[in-house]
Amino acid sequence: MKTTKKGFTLIELIVVIAIIGVLAAILVPSMLGYVKKSKVSSANSTASTLQKAINTTLIEIDEQTQDSGSITRVHKDATASSSPIIFDSTTATGYDTKLKNYMEKASKIAFDSRCVGGACVAVAVALDSTYTGTAPSGVVTVDNYKSYSFSGTSNLSTALNAAALLASAS
């Protein structure tokens, strides 16, 4: 009686491993591009959400005290995790908790915004040291995100100025 062993030969296994290697070499670089694109998109989405939260807070300020038109900037510095959210105005104090109610992330990220006439027109957000996002979006893209990477307030200001310019053009 003959017993035959069934299984893969060494050559078949090497061919399969080679095919998997070629597919991995093709897919890995394209997947890295998707990761960058998703992080830039996330930063822009966070900036858009923050802009809406700031606008909602400004509406509440206007309903309560009628002075939201004097607020020209809302920002949070990244130098310390416990740094406060600052509403630049002579009369607007204590509104950081209202903003935190609308956006939980507001106290955890660095951001700067420009307000005109009681409405937030542009926001720049630094999610981490590499990815910065803006609202209106379109300023920071996958192609230029490194030029806006957060290495201090200067790049955040550059992104904010570009977003404000984009907002004024539309």
Q: State which H helix or E strand residue 116 sits in.
A: strand 110-116
Domains in the chain, number: 1
Q: Is residue 34 part of a domain?
A: no
Question: pLDDT tier at 14 (50, 70, 90 boundaries)?
Answer: very high
Q: State which H helix or E strand residue 62 sits in.
A: helix 10-65
CA distance 68 to 93: 11
Each residue of 95-126: pLDDT tens digit? 777 788 788 878 788 888 888 888 889 988 88
Six token digits for residue 1: 């009686």
By CB neighbour count within 10 A (0-12 exposed, 13-18 middle, 19+ buried), where does 66 fall? exposed
Each residue of 88-100: pLDDT tens digit? 765 556 677 778 8
Q: Is residue 128 part of a domain?
A: yes
Q: Is residue 46 part of a domain?
A: no
Q: Is residue 17 part of a domain?
A: no
Q: Is residue 36 part of a domain?
A: no
Q: Is residue 122 part of a domain?
A: yes
Q: Is residue 92 part of a domain?
A: yes
Domain span at 124: 51-169
Q: Is residue 125 part of a domain?
A: yes
* Structural contact between residues 130 and 137, judged by C-beta atoms closer than 8 angstroms: no
